[in-house]
Each structure stands twice: as structure tokens, then as C-alpha cells.
Amino acid sequence: MEHGKKETKRVLITFDIDGTLIRSTGPTSNHLHRQAFSHALLQVFGIDGTIDVIQHHGSTDPAILVNTLIHYGIPSKVATEKLSDLKSKMIEFAKGHAKDIGEGLEVLPGVESLLQTLSSRDAIVIGLVTGNLEENAWMKMEGLGIEKYFSVPHIGGFGSDHIDRGHLVKIAAERAEKLFPGKFDLRVHVGDAPNDIRAAEFGGALAIGVCTGIFGKEELDQASTEGAVVLKNLSDCESFLNLLGL
């Protein structure tokens, strides 16, 4: 087969979620995720608050929780000590409202087609690296109909694993190497925020930025010290595969 040799190149690709695979839309923008934060703040600290009081794009859920609580006057140490309870309350809320998980969210153009193409290749392992908590991340993927394209068993690095996004790319790679034994010839992380670019490079992966979130090409380029590739979006499947040498 003509493509046989190319197919032996083993690639691990991880995707960020919000702003990369999906976007928030309309008046109920990312409704359930935002509500889950507010529920946790109320249940654990009695604070009737919202994450919209801080800049949270490209952050992890635990960091968002801590920074929001600091805004509301809770000391960082106290907020950090309660992270386990806060995360549990977020997951509990999301599970209780799972039928609404896709409200105010939509899959970005080209994403489903790209995931479908990647998932059809045996030598490619597809996972997530996201600031979302793990259970909530997969609920989003399922609710939007794209979970089926990710490698099984599911792998990734999540906000439930570490407060710092930089470590999540490494965590995802370690999990992939255990569950899909053998060396990966290339590791790639795709995201829409400068923090995604920095995390990819910190974690030893090729950084691919996409301008489908709130950041432009210049901001994504500036975040890179190792020549990240920045794309307008994920609509051109062929170009994406060429980037990976596939």
C-alpha cells in the first residue's frame, strides 16, 4: 500500500477544548460550566458569585476557582486548601445537569471532519489537554457528539490533575505511553490560547495554535519560543495532516 510507510509514524495529538474544538454561543454561553463554578463557590464558601469577575481564558478550572475566590476576598491558601471540595461540587453539579451540557456550546467548523480523519488512522492517538476537570471534559465531548473520535481508552491531562496547564501535556503523554505502548515519533498539542502554546512547549510537544478563540496570530506567535505553528482554524484537514508529515 502506498501510504503504508507513512502510517507507521506514531503520533500523539492532544486538543484543548474551549475555543479550540468548541465555542460558546448566544446568551447561554457555556452555561453549565459557568453554573458549575457558581454552584461550587456557593456550596463551599457561601459566595453567590461568578467567574466572570476575572480573566480566565486559557486557565485551568482549579486556577479559576482560586483566582475567583481571591477576588471575593478569600485568601489564596484557604481557597487552595478547599480545592478538592470545590472540584467535587463542580462535577456533582455537571452530572446532575448532564442533559444541558451542550447548552450555549457548538463544535467549531471543520473540527468533526478533522477528528474523524485522524481517528481513522491506527497510528494516531487522540486525547485532550484542557483546564476542564476530567469528568466534565468528557461530558462536553459526549454532549456535543464528538467523544467517539477520541482514542479508547481515553487519555489526556486535565484541570483535575494539576492547577498548572504546563504539566498537563506531560501528564497526557505519560498516560498515552502506558496505555498505547511504543514510542511516539511526534507529540502535538493544539490550542487557542498563549497558555496552550507555552504548555505544549513545556511538555515537549509541537505547539499548534488556532485563532478560533479570543487570541490572534500575533499573541500566539509571541507565546512561542520554539516556532509554534499558528493556523486560522481547523477547517483545512489536508494542511493539518501535512504539518504532521502524514
For position 166, what pLDDT does the model report?
87
Q: Quick one: pLDDT band at residue 30, thresholds 50, 70, 90?
A: low
d(CA 181, CA 220): 32
For position 229, what pLDDT does the model report?
97
Residue 128 identity:
L
Q: Quick one: pLDDT band at residue 26, thresholds 50, 70, 90?
A: low
Q: Quick one: pLDDT band at residue 182, thresholds 50, 70, 90?
A: confident
- The tens digit of pLDDT for each residue in 4-18 reads 444 579 999 999 999
Q: Where in the chain is the domain with CATH 1.10.150.240?
A: 31-100
d(CA 19, CA 31): 15
Fold category of 4-25+105-243 in CATH: Rossmann fold (3.40.50)
What pTM value is reported for the model?
0.91
> Which architecture does CATH list for 31-100?
Orthogonal Bundle (1.10)
Span 183-193, mean pLDDT?
96
Residue 27: pLDDT over 60: no
Q: Quick one: pLDDT band at residue 175, thresholds 50, 70, 90?
A: very high
Span 163-181, mean pLDDT?
94
Q: Where in the chain is the domain with CATH 3.40.50.1000?
A: 4-25+105-243
Residue 13 identity:
I
Q: Quick one: pLDDT band at residue 29, thresholds 50, 70, 90?
A: low
- The tens digit of pLDDT for each residue in 217-245 reads 999 999 999 999 999 999 999 999 999 98
